[in-house]
Every structure is written in C-alpha cells, then in structure tokens.
C-alpha cells in the first residue's frame, strides 16, 4: 500500500492543469484532499469527479494572494480530517509579455500569486506542521527558474523566488518537516499562453501542442516526493519533455 494512503493533502490551483491532475493521482492513491482555487464551478467538477470514483475531496474557493484564504484552506483540512500532512503550492499564472507592453497588472499578478501566495501557504501551514511534529511543503516552480527565455523574465523571476524561499525554508525546517521543489518544463495545460499577449500566446500554445508532456507526468513526480518514508526529503525534481531544449 502507498504511504500516500490516508494522508491529508491540500493543493492550491486544483481547478485545472497540474493541480487537477495531481488531485486525481493522489485521490487514486487514497489521499484525503482539500482543493483550492478561485473558480468554484471548476473546483466542484474536480471534487465531484474524485468522489464519484470513491475518493475523498473537499473544495474551498481560495485566492492565494489573500492570507486569510490560505488559513481557511488549512483550517478546512483540520476541521474535516483532523490534520494536514502536505501542502502543495501550485497556483500560478503564466501571463507573460514583453516589457515594452507594460502589462504591470500581469507582473503584479505573477508576483502576488507565486511569491505572496507561496508565503501565505507557508504562514498558514507551518504552525500546523510544527504542532503536529510533521508536514511536507511541495512547491511548484518551473524550469523557467533556471533558463530565462524572453519574454518570460517576470515569470522566471517569481519562480526563481519560489526556489530561494523553498531552500531557506528547507534549511530552517529541521528534522521533522520536508520541503520539495517541483520544476516542470512544458506541460500541456490550459494555463500555457493564458493571459499572455496574442503573439506570445500563439507561439507558446503552438510549442505546447508540439512538445508538451501531460500534467500526469508532474502529478506522479509530486506523488513520488510525497510517498517517501519519514526522514527522507526529496529536495527537488525537474521534469521536462524530452523534446524541450
């Protein structure tokens, strides 16, 4: 039996893409899930799909940029299932554009979703993990954190920040907690090109359709990190499609 069986796992950005695929994967392994995102209708569809197959999941409408929403997510895990074993911070936006477009709202949105959102998750889950004497942060970054490709600088910077925050958190976590960074390459999700400038969006979606891997590839990497025995921390997994340069 997988060690994922019975674990209480909260996932942000679970209404589509990698978060949705991870929820399905972990539900099949017997995890009890608390799923967060802003689109309540999409979240309900994911929760209903899991419960229809005999899995256990609850949806909570959250905006990760709001501190109190992350608190509500972790509170729901404790109220429903009595504990929280893993927080997967996956919510993200890839609204990339050239600097000259001055899409400053999109810059702000990437900063607040990836950096403030991650910190809000840490702020909500860390006290719970400390009380329990166990817990696992799984933070979804990107290969963009390592290779900056124009016009993705702001996105890449926020994902580099995810790596830096995760490494600092890991060093301070001590022997009882785990911290994992998952860095996906091109993954076939609706988020690729969404909110980007039209030319950039067209180029990204074309590349996605040519080379991207399915989100299940990232879901199983997250599952691998979660199913390690106590005392073993998978610090980072980078997963790219073979065709990605």
Ligand X SMILES: NC(=O)c1ccc[n+]([C@@H]2O[C@H](COP(=O)([O-])OP(=O)(O)OC[C@H]3O[C@@H](n4cnc5c(N)ncnc54)[C@H](OP(=O)(O)O)[C@@H]3O)[C@@H](O)[C@H]2O)c1
Q: Does 71 bind ligand X (CB under 6 A)?
A: no
Kindly state the smallest distance separating residue 16's Cβ from ligand X, in Å. 4
Q: Which of 81, 146, 155, 224 is catalytic?
A: 155
* Rounded distance between C-alpha atoms, residue 71 and residue 34, angstroms: 12
* Contact status: 47 vs ligand X (CB under 6 A): no
Shorter beta-carbon distance to ligand X: residue 63 or 227: 63
CA 105 – CA 43 distance, rounded (Å): 25
Tell me which residue of 161, 224, 197, 226 sits closest to 9, measured CA to CA.
Answer: 226
Give the footprint of ligand X on residues 9-28 (CB under 6 A): 12-19
**Residue 109 or 134 with smaller CB distance to ligand X:** 109
User: For residues 31 and 138, which CB has a smaller minimum distance to ligand X in the complex?
Assistant: 138
Q: Is 146 a catalytic residue?
A: no
177-184 and 236-239 strand pairing: parallel
Residue 137-166 contact track with ligand X, rule CB under 6 A, x = bound: ---x-x------------------------
> What whole-number distance in Å separates Cα of residue 121 and Cα of residue 126?
8
Site track for ligand X across 99-138, x = CB under 6 A: --------------x-------------------------
**Candidate residues 62, 124, 125, 221; the one interacting with ligand X per rule CB under 6 A:** 62
Window contacting ligand X (CB under 6 A); options: 7-15, 118-126, 146-154, 232-240: 7-15
By CB under 6 A, is residue 193 in contact with ligand X? Answer: no
Residues lying near ligand X in the complex (CB under 6 A) are found at 12-19, 37-39, 42, 62-65, 90-94, 113, 140, 142, 184, 186-187, 189-192, 194
Query: Which positions are catalytic?
Result: 155
């Amino acid at each position: 039996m997988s060690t994922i069986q019975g674990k209480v796992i909260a996932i942000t950005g679970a209404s589509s893409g990698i978060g949705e695929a991870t929820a399905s994967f972990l539900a099949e392994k017997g995890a009890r899930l608390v799923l967060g995102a802003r689109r309540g209708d999409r979240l309900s569809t994911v929760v209903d799909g899991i419960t229809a197959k005999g899995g256990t999941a609850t949806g909570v409408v959250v905006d990760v940029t709001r501190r109190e929403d992350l608190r509500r997510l972790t509170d729901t895990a404790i109220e429903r299932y009595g504990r929280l074993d893993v927080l997967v911070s996956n919510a993200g936006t890839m609204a990339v554009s050239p600097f000259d477009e001055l899409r400053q709202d999109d810059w702000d949105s990437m900063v607040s979703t990836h950096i403030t959102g991650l910190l809000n998750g840490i702020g909500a889950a860390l006290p719970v993990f400390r009380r329990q004497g166990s817990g696992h942060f799984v933070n979804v970054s990107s290969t963009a954190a390592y290779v900056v490709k124009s016009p993705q600088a702001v996105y890449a910077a926020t994902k580099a920040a995810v790596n830096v925050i995760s490494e600092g958190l890991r060093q301070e976590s001590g022997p009882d907690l785990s911290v994992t960074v998952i860095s996906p390459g091109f993954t076939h999700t609706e988020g690729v090109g969404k909110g980007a400038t039209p030319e950039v969006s067209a180029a990204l979606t074309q590349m996605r359709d040519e080379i991207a891997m399915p989100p299940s590839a990232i879901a199983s990497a997250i599952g691998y990190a979660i199913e390690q025995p106590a005392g073993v921390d998978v610090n980072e997994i980078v997963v790219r499609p073979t065709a990605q340069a």
